A and B are shown apart, each in its own frame.
Chain A
Amino acid sequence: MSHALVPTKLEELWAYIAENPEAMLCAGGTDLLVKIRSRSVTPDCLICLERLDDLKGVRFEAGEIIIGALTTHRELLHDPIVQRDLSILASAVQNLGSPPIRNMGTLGGNIVTASPAGDTLAPLYILKARLKIRSKESSRSVPIESFILGPGKVDLRAGEILSEIAINQDSRFTVNHFEKVGRRNALACSVVSMAALMNIAEDNTISEIRLAWGSVGPTIMRFGDVERLLEGRQLTVRGIEDAIRKVQQSVSPIADTRASADYRRDVAGRLLLRLLSYASSR
């Protein structure tokens, strides 16, 4: 790598991108710098986005929560809006990497890296996050599930950046659950993860549920049929057994040094059992 550019204003950024069309964008670098070190990417020029203050922070705007793409994980964890209204995202970020990684890494970086094991992704899928994509000339907004195309693949064209993440809180959930299964308690790449937003009626039936799994397919996986099956069911082992099996049949995990595909498949379904702890004990 011969040079790195550090814009502080968007106009500067657009100019740098225009002058260096081959440059790679860096948003925290906790994944990119690892790839550069191992020479799996060899960019000649890096444009570092971390000092674009306009793309940082969390705010309410027109009934939506807007998160700047360059907001670091640490900033998210300490943000009162995230703590109060996006607790599922907060619990995912709490388990992400380690303190140094949370200090450097950004939400936008985690999204654009598009790893099936990206810790923030499963919560963002069920929060129905929309992503704002900007270039010098234009701006568009896409749901996260159409932005992420596959492992490391996103719908980002030349000259575009991910600028903001918008979350519309159309419904409220009493249960905000995220569990990451890793091989250790910190600095662990997820082996399976599950995010759940759920409302339970007084008689312990599931009235509404949204679910998403990480690390069991090429991207975050959601299963509409599992959610439909669960809605109206009792929150008991019996009530969710067939949903567990259905999840196990639907996921498509791979094996690597961390876990076998069978384990991931098995545990992806079993993680639903954790929801039983939210059942009220009458």
Chain B
Amino acid sequence: MSNRPANIGSTLLRPDALLKVKGEARFSTDFYEKGHVWAGVKRAGRPHAILKNIDYSEAIKLPGVIAVLTHKDVGGTNRQGVIKKDQPVLVEDRIRHCGDAVAIVLSDTRRSMEEAIRAIKLEVEPLPAVTDPRLSLKDDAALVHEKNEDRNILLGGAITVGKGRAAEAECDEIIEATFETQRQEHAYLETENGWARLDDQGRLEIVCSTQTPFRDRSEIAEALGLDLKNVRIIVPYVGGAFGGKDGITVQTLLALSAMHAAGRPVKMWWSREESFIASVKRHPSILRYRLGAKRDGTLHFLDVDITMDTGPYDHLGGVVLALAMEHSGGPYRIPNGVVDGRCVYTNNPISGAFRGFGVTQVSSGIERAMDLLAVKIGMDPLELRLKNALRAGDRNFVGKTLTTSTGITECLETLASHPLWTQRSFWKRNAGILKKRGVGISAIVHGSGYGPIVPDYANAKIELTGEGKFRVYCGVVDMGQGNSTANVQIVSSILNQPANDIELVLPDTERTLPSGSASASRCTYTFGNALISAAKIMKERLCRKAADLMMKKDPQEFSTTPITIRHLPTGSEIPLKVIANMMDSSERIVTAYFRAPVAEDLVTGDYNLRLHGMPHNLFSYAANLACVELDEITGKVTVENYATASDCGNVLNPQLYEQQIQGGAIQGLGLALYEDFVAVEGHVTTKDFSTYLTPTSMDAPDIESIAMGIYETTGPFGSKGIGEIATNGPLPAIANAIFDATGHMLEKSPITPESVLTALTEISKE
């Protein structure tokens, strides 16, 4: 950190960087106490069955075992979920996927806990498992939730734009393709875990790794039948989340355990294998695209059909579908068409929030469709994109008028003049022996925030401490992305205080104020806006106080300077510490509220789609370029270079910006080439990191991130969301590069060496 005031737009080292490198940062996994209890979960182990009996008679007898808990021990609704509460905390009578939690074992040691879990016997009556989302829609499919209104459909909807399908006949060229994207695991370093204790007043304190402390509190209280006021959630440093901790993981199970541990603290920490089976994944999707244009390349018509496999529970599946539908037309003006989507229940692993959140899937669809169309029309793919790129004032595909900064044209123009693009023919010709090269691009739009109905708000709180320093109460979790660093920068720069005099209080439902989830590319936008207001109020209050003290009429004559307040005309100073000591503790605290503006456009009459977020108001943009080399012997794909030009508003911290772009791009590279979370008939076959392959540092290309730096007038210091957009670019850019090299558009991801080899051998036959 720095002993001088931070500047907006220059790199400030993360305050947590050194702590984490030295191992001093405390995560929820680091909580231990002599005599604490271990709590572990018995998982269902089968995809679909009637649960007839849980026999734990042997387990309870094992030495060290304190209790075995089942649904009978749950006092509240026993249901959790964000929009639709359809997931039991502990299964009552119906098992809906292998990872369902059936019972909890409380034990003195981890080993006896594990032994007891193995000793629990489940008596079940197997049911046919629904594991193919297409078959899940058939009339004869088994029902995952018997009482669901629309058989196996969690959420479905359609939007017709302009003339709808009638415009198809007006197109000169039409392409059609069906793409399939796979299930992806978040693979954060820190698996789901927490630490909980029930005190003698009946208050539950839970320390856990989550993106959503305030929402967790409500969910726990409701599911277990507790008073909200008696539940406290504390979130220390989080070791990665990417959407996988956007909602309940261990929290309710842990709370229930603490209620049966006689006041002893309880620890629950899922193993990697358990995390794989029980946690949510990116939705697998089937995307049918029909894209039509006029002869000159003007897009005229799009027909998209989206099917997403949400597994047995909503989690955030409906919201993911709605965002996918909204972004299905990419960053282009497409005046006519239809988008039809559905998110279906299956007995597969649960799908839910994952960085990119449905946009990743449809971006890979529209962007591959664009390259197919470019070839069909005989137009340069970048030129085709530029010709149709959205501008402020245009309507996007679902009919939302763009009223905020819209920089996709600048992003595409940046790529158009980039050496990797202008010199691509030369580079491709220089492929080595038995190698082939291709260059591909993708253009991405990504909305941020919650949509028109669910309020996207934050409450910032700053306290002047007795020592004259500032304490910032962060209501939004920093799961590693660095938003708390941006908070330091904002307060430090507005108040002109040394960055290392700004103390952060990490989310705690009793100390920090409700500020929504750490998700939806919203953290710095929403919380940052609230924090700017709070810092300005604090500055004004301190200057006023100083004016009173020095008997000056105009607080404008004062400014905060490092550790003091200075009277500018005379240069005399009062230390902040002195001012602090003259203020009552309530005066030393400032709070401010911000609620993000929302779209006023009525793009659909379907309230349910609007509730699930359709449409958004603020969008980030990016254009990406991938240079790939293919090996003709093995089909191996090497991404040699990757560049991205992005419009995510004004950059607050260039280093954090670059880290977000690079991290997102590598996660997207994983989706494109490596990661595939496989479930066969509902049973996970990629049980750990030996078969679930994420890219390593040896697989990551050089990634150039160019910021357009366009100022967004509604953003904090002109910034927009950057958390997710980079994840969406690699799959379509790499697929398009392979298309460029081979003439074959690969429609299924991950793109395996096997599928590339097939494409390569087909060219040699042609």
A residues sitting closer than 8 Å to B (CB atoms) are 34, 38, 98, 181, 183-189, 191, 257-260, 263, 266-267, 270-271, 273-274, 276-277
| Cβ–Cβ contact B690 & A189, under 8 A | yes
B695 on the A face (CB < 8 A): yes
- Which residue of chain A has its CB nearest to the CB of B687? A38
Q: Which of B685, B686, B697, B757 touches A266 (beta carbons < 8 Å)?
A: B757
A114 → chain B, closest Cβ, in Å? 17
Q: Which of A181, A187, A257, A277 touches B636 (beta carbons < 8 Å)?
A: A181
- Which chain A residues border B691 with CB–CB below 8 Å? 257-258
| Cβ–Cβ contact A263 & B753, under 8 A | yes
B755 → chain A, closest Cβ, in Å? 10
- Which chain A residues border B434 with CB–CB below 8 Å? 273-274, 276-277
Q: Which of B635, B689, B698 touches A186 (beta carbons < 8 Å)?
A: B698
| Bound complex: CA A181 to CA B757 (Å) | 13
| Bound complex: CA A267 to CA B686 (Å) | 24
B295 → chain A, closest Cβ, in Å? 42
B572 on the A face (CB < 8 A): no
- Supplied contacts A181-B634, A257-B678, A273-B434, 11 more A-B pairs, CB within 8 Å: A181-B636, A183-B753, A184-B695, A185-B696, A186-B697, A187-B689, A188-B693, A267-B634, A267-B635, A270-B634, A276-B433
- Which chain A residues border B689 with CB–CB below 8 Å? 187
- Which residue of chain B has its CB nearest to the CB of A184? B699
- Which chain A residues border B753 with CB–CB below 8 Å? 181, 183, 191, 259, 263
A14 → chain B, closest Cβ, in Å? 32
Q: Which of B273, B634, B698 touches A184 (beta carbons < 8 Å)?
A: B698
Report B684-708 residues with CB < 8 Å from chain A CB: 685-686, 689-691, 693, 695-699
Report B741-760 residues with CB < 8 Å from chain A CB: 752-754, 757
| Bound complex: CA A187 to CA B273 (Å) | 18
B433 → chain A, closest Cβ, in Å? 6
Q: Which of A98, A263, A273, A277 touches B696 (beta carbons < 8 Å)?
A: A98
B674 on the A face (CB < 8 A): yes
- Which chain B residues border A187 with CB–CB below 8 Å? 689, 696
| Cβ–Cβ contact B757 & A263, under 8 A | yes
Contact with A along B378-409 (1 / 0, CB 8 A): 00000000000000000000000000000000
B568 on the A face (CB < 8 A): no
- Which chain B residues border A186 with CB–CB below 8 Å? 696-699
- Which chain B residues border A263 with CB–CB below 8 Å? 753-754, 757
A263-B754, A270-B633, A270-B634 in contact; A257/B696 too (CB < 8 A)?
no
| Bound complex: CA A274 to CA B636 (Å) | 14
- Which chain B residues border A188 with CB–CB below 8 Å? 693
- Which residue of chain A has its CB nearest to the CB of B680? A257
B701 → chain A, closest Cβ, in Å? 11
B residues sitting closer than 8 Å to A (CB atoms) are 273, 433-434, 633-636, 674, 676, 678, 685-686, 689-691, 693, 695-699, 752-754, 757
Q: Which one of B434, B634, B676, B685 has the highest number of Cβ atoms from chain A below 10 Å of its Cβ?
A: B634
A39 → chain B, closest Cβ, in Å? 9
- Which chain B residues border A184 with CB–CB below 8 Å? 674, 693, 695-696, 698-699
A140 → chain B, closest Cβ, in Å? 34
| Cβ–Cβ contact A274 & B699, under 8 A | no
- Which residue of chain B has its CB nearest to the CB of A273? B633
| Bound complex: CA A191 to CA B689 (Å) | 16
Report whether over half of chain B's contact residues are helix, strand or loop; otherwise say mixed: loop
| Cβ–Cβ contact B433 & A257, under 8 A | no
- Which residue of chain B has its CB nearest to the CB of A237? B434
| Bound complex: CA A188 to CA B699 (Å) | 11
A94 → chain B, closest Cβ, in Å? 11
| Bound complex: CA A184 to CA B752 (Å) | 11
| Bound complex: CA A72 to CA B647 (Å) | 49
- Which chain A residues border B699 with CB–CB below 8 Å? 184-186
A184-B698, A263-B753 in contact; A277/B433 too (CB < 8 A)?
yes
| Bound complex: CA A263 to CA B755 (Å) | 10
| Bound complex: CA A59 to CA B556 (Å) | 81
| Bound complex: CA A185 to CA B693 (Å) | 11
| Bound complex: CA A273 to CA B764 (Å) | 15
| Bound complex: CA A190 to CA B413 (Å) | 42
- Which residue of chain B has its CB nearest to the CB of A187? B696
| Cβ–Cβ contact B633 & A274, under 8 A | yes
- Which chain B residues border A34 with CB–CB below 8 Å? 690
Q: What are 13 residue pairs bridging A and B, where the CB atoms are less than 8 Å apart in the complex?
A: A183-B674, A184-B693, A184-B695, A187-B696, A191-B753, A257-B678, A263-B757, A266-B757, A267-B633, A271-B633, A271-B634, A273-B633, A274-B434
Ranked nearest first, the 3 interchain pairs of A and B with the lowest CB-CB distance are A185-B698, A186-B698, A186-B696
A93 → chain B, closest Cβ, in Å? 15
A134 → chain B, closest Cβ, in Å? 32
| Cβ–Cβ contact A259 & B674, under 8 A | no
| Bound complex: CA A266 to CA B433 (Å) | 19
| Bound complex: CA A260 to CA B690 (Å) | 17
B276 → chain A, closest Cβ, in Å? 13
- Which residue of chain A has its CB nearest to the CB of B434? A273
- Which chain B residues border A277 with CB–CB below 8 Å? 433-434
A144 → chain B, closest Cβ, in Å? 25
| Bound complex: CA A108 to CA B693 (Å) | 27
- Which chain A residues border B674 with CB–CB below 8 Å? 183-184
| Bound complex: CA A129 to CA B635 (Å) | 32
- Which chain B residues border A183 with CB–CB below 8 Å? 674, 693, 753
| Bound complex: CA A257 to CA B750 (Å) | 13
| Bound complex: CA A259 to CA B757 (Å) | 12
- Which residue of chain B has its CB nearest to the CB of A277? B433
- Which chain A residues border B698 with CB–CB below 8 Å? 184-186
- Which chain A residues border B635 with CB–CB below 8 Å? 267
| Bound complex: CA A267 to CA B766 (Å) | 20
- Which chain B residues border A271 with CB–CB below 8 Å? 633-634
Q: Which of A260, A273, A276 touches B754 (beta carbons < 8 Å)?
A: A260
- Which chain B residues border A260 with CB–CB below 8 Å? 754
- Which chain B residues border A270 with CB–CB below 8 Å? 633-634
- Which chain A residues border B678 with CB–CB below 8 Å? 257
- Which chain A residues border B685 with CB–CB below 8 Å? 257
- Which chain B residues border A181 with CB–CB below 8 Å? 634, 636, 753
| Bound complex: CA A187 to CA B694 (Å) | 10
B756 → chain A, closest Cβ, in Å? 11
| Bound complex: CA A263 to CA B685 (Å) | 20
- Which residue of chain A has its CB nearest to the CB of B697? A186
| Bound complex: CA A270 to CA B434 (Å) | 11
| Bound complex: CA A55 to CA B690 (Å) | 30
- Which residue of chain B has its CB nearest to the CB of A183? B693
B750 → chain A, closest Cβ, in Å? 9
Q: Which one of A98, A183, A189, A191 has the highest number of Cβ atoms from chain B below 10 Å of its Cβ?
A: A183
| Bound complex: CA A274 to CA B757 (Å) | 15
| Bound complex: CA A188 to CA B698 (Å) | 11
| Bound complex: CA A191 to CA B674 (Å) | 14
B668 → chain A, closest Cβ, in Å? 15
| Bound complex: CA A274 to CA B632 (Å) | 10
| Bound complex: CA A112 to CA B636 (Å) | 30
- Which chain A residues border B273 with CB–CB below 8 Å? 38
- Which chain A residues border B752 with CB–CB below 8 Å? 259
| Bound complex: CA A276 to CA B433 (Å) | 9
| Bound complex: CA A77 to CA B200 (Å) | 60
| Bound complex: CA A231 to CA B633 (Å) | 22
A167 → chain B, closest Cβ, in Å? 29
